[in-house]
């Protein structure tokens, strides 16, 4: 799964600090030069500062959604309320970012486009509002449509019916019959079966929330 959504982390532009070198450079003039004991004491102290700072930085980055991995990423997902299932780290990370967005959203129409962009869904996106309180979102080339649909459903406001229409194929390629497709393109799960009864063609999926 790919996404065009990116973020610049505050630590991207931070260079590692050598506190020992910095401390020695700031010694007043009478302690510079031939003062090995003073310099050794200062280096021993500042080396500990380097170590503590490094551990604190690792803790922070280990629980940041763009850098956490493995068990740390799973823990972060539990905190924000996004189950992992069988997703690998790179896939799961995108859905965690989507869940964070949903948790902070209020269901306004532009937010559905923003959420789909975060999730890497960019093909054939359409959204329609219907009175009194209904919304239809459709798109094609959807990976993990159930998970994407759950996030869209959770973003929708209370009392609003959401219809999510999706396809694993391009929008222009759906509604094809089985006899127009190659063997590796056939959809065995649903409709538009040819007369020979070989298997199904392509239809969009649909879920209502």
**pLDDT tens-digit readout, 139-186:** 877 889 889 999 999 999 888 899 988 876 666 666 667 667 777 777
pLDDT for residue 2: 38
Residue 133 has pLDDT above 90, yes or no: no
CA 40 to centroid of chain Cα atoms:
47
pLDDT for residue 175: 64
Distances from the Cα of 77 to the Cαs of 14, 55, 69, in angstroms?
A: 27, 22, 11
What CA dihedral angle connects 28, 32, 37 and 39, to 10 degrees?
70
Spell out the domain ranges in the chain: 18-62, 69-104, 107-208
The pairing of beta strand 134-140 with beta strand 161-167: parallel
> Which segment of 13-22, 40-49, 76-85 scores lowest on mean pLDDT?
13-22
Token representation of residue 97: 């970012």
Distances from the Cα of 57 to the Cαs of 7, 26, 70, 106, in angstroms?
A: 18, 25, 18, 33
Q: Of residues 146 and 32, which shows the higher confidence score?
A: 146
- Residue 33 zone, left/alpha/beta (φ > 0; ψ -120 to 50; rest): left
Distances from the Cα of 176 to the Cαs of 38, 118, 166, 171, 204, in angstroms?
A: 81, 30, 15, 11, 11
pLDDT for residue 181: 72
The span from the CA of 203 to the CA of 132, in Å, is: 28
Which helix (H) or strand (E) segment is 139 a member of?
strand 134-140
Token representation of residue 84: 């992992």
Distances from the Cα of 31 to the Cαs of 27, 34, 40, in angstroms?
A: 6, 8, 12
pLDDT confidence band for 11 (50 / 70 / 90): very low
Nearest of 188, 102, 196, 83 to residue 151 by alpha carbon: 102
The span from the CA of 169 to the CA of 179, in Å, is: 17
Residue 106 has pLDDT above 70, yes or no: yes
> Which segment of 30-44, 66-80, 96-110, 141-155 scores lowest on mean pLDDT?
30-44
């Amino acid at each position: 799964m790919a996404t065009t959504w990116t973020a610049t982390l505050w630590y991207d532009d931070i260079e590692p600090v050598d506190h020992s070198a910095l401390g020695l450079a700031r010694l007043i003039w009478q302690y510079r030069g031939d003062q090995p004991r003073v310099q050794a004491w200062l280096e021993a102290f500042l080396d500990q500062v380097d170590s503590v700072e490094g551990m604190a930085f690792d803790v922070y980055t280990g629980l940041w959604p763009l850098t956490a991995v493995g068990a740390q990423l799973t823990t972060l997902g539990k905190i924000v309320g996004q189950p992992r299932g069988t997703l690998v780290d790179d896939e799961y990370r995108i859905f965690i970012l989507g869940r964070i967005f949903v948790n902070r959203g209020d269901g306004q129409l532009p937010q559905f486009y923003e959420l789909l962009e975060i999730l890497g869904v960019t093909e054939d996106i359409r959204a329609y509002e219907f009175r009194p309180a209904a919304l239809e979102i459709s798109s094609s080339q959807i990976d993990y449509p159930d998970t994407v649909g759950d996030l869209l459903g959770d973003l929708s406001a209370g009392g609003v019916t959401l219809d999510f229409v999706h396809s694993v194929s391009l929008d222009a390629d759906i509604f094809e019959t089985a006899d127009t497709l190659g063997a590796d393109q056939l959809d065995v799960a649903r409709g538009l079966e040819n007369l020979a009864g070989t298997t199904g063609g392509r239809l969009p999926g649909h879920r209502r929330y």
